[in-house]
Structure 1
Amino acid sequence: MPSNLPATISTFSGDQVPARVANISRGGFLADCEAPVPVGSQVVLFLPSVGRLPAQVRWAMGNSIGAVFNGVLTGPLELGLRNLLASAPRRGVGGEQKRDPCHDRSKVA
């Protein structure tokens, strides 16, 4: 899901790195950080609307990182991420907002 969410990335060495999450899914995220975070780092992504999501950095380019969540998210974390993803507008090619055909009430008789 394309986004621009303010976040904090905590490293296991204790660093707190301000970031903006540019894309997030149930499997991981892409973030633009204010400081580099090395590939292989175990981190915790904190999103105020979701909570703390443990992850591992799989790639880095400059201050941008891609990370995968550690294991399967369960309980409140899963619910918070599911609610975040469900609330985001769906976008098509070129950035236009797409209607969700399952929830499109304009076609109801």
Structure 2
Amino acid sequence: MRQPGEIKREPRVDTQFQARLLDSSGNEHAVTILDLSKSGFRLRCDEMLRIGEKIRLQTDRHGDFPAQIRWALGEEAGGLFLSPVKVPD
């Protein structure tokens, strides 16, 4: 049972792979995906990302995913996929 103040989220899979982030201005940034679930992700980026910004995460192997940045702290940020994704086991 959820406790008051607890945030419910999907189980996350720890990972570490390179991707590209395309921001709303069309700028491309190299990122490392640190964990992900079918609804969200955590990544590392050299640039500070804007909370609320709509982005695209692009990977050579897995495709292109529309998302939104939900939090940012230093070089790490987390986001929500705008459509559920399939997460590897």
Q: Do these two structures clear the TM 0.5 threshold for a shared fold by scoring above it?
A: yes
Q: Which ranges in structure 1 are unaligned for 5 or more consecutive residues?
A: 73-77, 87-109
Query: Percent identity between the aligned chains?
Result: 25
RMSD (CA atoms): 1.2
Q: Which has the higher strand share?
A: 2
- Runs of at least 4 residues off by over 3 Å: none
Q: What secondary structure sits across from 1:49 in the alignment?
A: coil
CA distance in 1, matches of 2:18, 2:55: 16
1:26 corresponding residue in structure 2: 38
2:5 corresponding residue in structure 1: none
Larger radius of gyration: 1
Structure 1 residue 49, shift from structure 2 partner = 1.5
Alignment size in residue pairs: 77
Q: Which ranges in structure 2 are unaligned for 5 or more consecutive residues?
A: 1-12
Of structures 1 and 2, the one with the larger relative CO (CA 8 A, separation 6+) is 2
CA distance in 2, matches of 1:18, 1:29: 15
Q: Which has the higher helix share?
A: 1
CA distance in 1, matches of 2:27, 2:75: 15
2:6 corresponding residue in structure 1: none
TM score, norm. by length of structure 2: 0.80
